[in-house]
Every structure is written in structure tokens, then in C-alpha cells.
Structure 1
Amino acid sequence: MKASDIIPFYGGTYPDLFEIERRCMDRKGNVIDFLDQNLPNGLALDIGAGNGHTAERLLNDNRQIVAMEPDETMIDPEKPLIWSRGTAQSIPFHTNTFKSAYATWAFFFDGMPDVDQGLAEVARVVEPGGQIIIVDNYGYDEFCALSSRPIASDVNYWSARGFNHTVIDTVFAFDSVEEARKLLSFYFGAAGEKVEQMIFEYKVVAYTKTNQK
């Protein structure tokens, strides 16, 4: 695992902010529902699992999750998950180990280095016919509009790599305006400091692909 393969993430340094993000992002649970409905039974790989928030919610009697996370400060051994350290560019598992793999706002940011290397690794460890799902920002919503720079993914980028896409309507819902300002000012600076609302329209895109060898 190379340091250059790891995207710096704030969760380990600011756990209070990460807790707000995890609780308030997709407050309706629509992204979790989509993943639950589209991930098959069997062993699944969560790429860039963070503290296991998503993986824990996708566990069931017929599905096990390997939570792969490069930042050891994010790993929560109290969660009932199989933990592994690793990056998408060099996944520490044998070929055809998994029925599916998914990433939620993790490695796969458009324009980041070695995206195709990561996708090749995912295709290697997921068995033929298995599912690959990438979740990211869709844009065209109140949340992304707060950013002064583009933070939405490029549908054409993923379509060119054989992915279909589904737009999931959800919300960023905070418990108070003060809480919204705390997280959104960290994300967006002055724009976040000025917010006056607790609920923000949020559109998420799920890119899905049946793995082909």
C-alpha cells in the first residue's frame, strides 16, 4: 500500500465532524436501500469503508462485508465486520474472491490518479457476473450548489467505462442550523457559515456494472 494511493480524509482527525456527516448524509436511507437491493448475497467488498457505517447497515444473514480501509485511524473494531487495510489500486485478496464490491464517496473521484488501475483491481477480485457499484455526488442540488468548485461526478466518464447510472434523491438533514453550519463551513467555508436551513436537497448517483472478465 503506497501513501500516494491514499486520498487524505478528515474522518480520523475530526471524528466529531465525521459523525455529523454519517448521521445527516442520506438521512432518508435511500442510498442504503439501493445498495441493499442491488448487492447480491455472498461476500461483498466495501472499498474505502471509513468506520464501517455503511457496511454495518448492509450486513444480513446471507451477506458478509469485508470493510477495506487504508486509514487505520478510521477502523472501528467494535463493528461486526471483517476488516482489511488496503487501497483500490492494490486490493489484498485473490482473484474472484467476492460476489460484489462497492465504494461510497471513496476512491473513485473523477480525475484522481489511477482510477482505471483501481477499477481493474476491482474487476479482478469480483467474480464474473458479480456486481460493482460506485456511489458519488450527482450534482444539480442544494448541497453541491454550496461548493465553489465542481464536486459532482461525470456521468459520461463512468458510462465510457461500461457503467449504468441511477439517480437517487435524498437529503442532507441536520438536527440544528448550528450543526449544519459546523459541517458545511468545514466543507465549503464562508458559504457554509451562512446557511439558515437544516435540510438540503441532495442527489446521489449510483453507477452499476455487471463484472465481465
Structure 2
Amino acid sequence: MSDQLPASSLINLIDDAFLTHSCDAVRLVASDATWATLLASRRYSVTADRLSRSSWNRSTPFRLCLGDLTIRSVENHEFADFIALLQDQAIARMLVNLDHPIDDNAALRWIQKRKFTGRPGFQLGVFHLDQLVGSIGISSISHALVYFLGHEARGKGYSKTFIGPFVKHSMARWCICRIFAGVFCDNPASRHILSASGFVVTGASIIQSPARSHPAKFWEMMYQPAD
């Protein structure tokens, strides 16, 4: 890629090369001025004019726009809204990695531990018209999908809008072969949403959520894209 295009167009081409064409690396040839703009906007780390996929991932923020919904990192001034979601017992009892009750400091540590760094192991915000309404992310080792919505955002079709595109984007970005999900059996609405988004049930187990008094049956699911 050369400097015949403005820096913003080069960035779009670079993103497309990694997301659409599964490139392991992109060779960049640019003028000093274009390099300065690229580095200022993305802070690319380039070796011998080659930008690797791992370097691109570290330098490229996650932002997925789907009409009125946007998936992106939660900024510091939005942490209070995120903490409020984490302190909702209805949300916590559907998760396997969140204590309840949880105080502000513990919730903040939960958020910071899952900050986006360019690789799986993150939890992002789901925004409707710039208002935080939920969260979605992928675990670092098992590549398990974790998502939830606040009470006022449920029943509006948001999950069906963002889960499928998020999963496809993530699989392309990190070259992930499989993404899993799990749903407690007393949450059939979530199972239905995941099924509509391309997940299939692969088994069941008994899981203890920290926010539940007793272990409960848990559907195990895996994303299976249509051919």
C-alpha cells in the first residue's frame, strides 16, 4: 500500500485487508507525512515496512456500528453506568464470572481486568444512541461469548441486531475458528436469541453462578455459521 491515498483511506484499506482478506501482514509504503498521520491516529508498530496482524490488532480500537447501536470500549466517564449494570442481580445471576452483591471498587476492577487490548479477553459496551445499555465480549482462553443488557433495553430486539455481526467480526479479526456461549436453562429468551444468531446447543452441564444460591442447569452452545 502506498501514499497515493490520504491517511484515512489507507487506514480503511488496512482494516479491510485484515478483516476481509485474512492477511497475516500488510506491506506499507508511505511518505513521511503520511506515516506521521497514520502513527498519530493508530500508533502502528511497523517492522521493515510490514504491519503484522498482531500489531494491527493492538493499534486498532474495536468499534462496530449497527444503525442506532454501537459496540465500543467504555470510556472512564461511562464507568458509573457500567458499574450499575454489574450491580444488577438479574444480570449477575445469568453470568458465571460476576459476584453479587458487588461494590463499586470490585465492579471497577472487573471492568478494568476486561479492558480491550487488541486480543480476546475483553468486555465492551453496547450503546444505543451513545447511551450504555449493555455489554458484550469474548473470554481469553475458551473464546466464550459473554453478553447482557440492562432492564430497560430488553425486549427491543437489540441482541438479535448485534450478536451475529459481533461474532462474525470477531472471528474475522482474530481468525477464531469457534466461539462458544452458555445459557442458564431458566433464561430461554437468551437461548432463543443465540439460536437465531447462529448458535446451536452442543450439550448441558450444571454450573454455579456466584449470584445464585444453588447450581443450575446450563446449556452449552457453539456458533455454527450457515454455509
Taking CA–CA contacts closer than 8 Å with sequence separation of 6 or more, which of the two structures ends up with the larger relative contact order?
1
Same fold flag (TM > 0.5)? no
Provide TM-score, normalisation by structure 2: 0.26
Decide which structure has greater helix share: 2
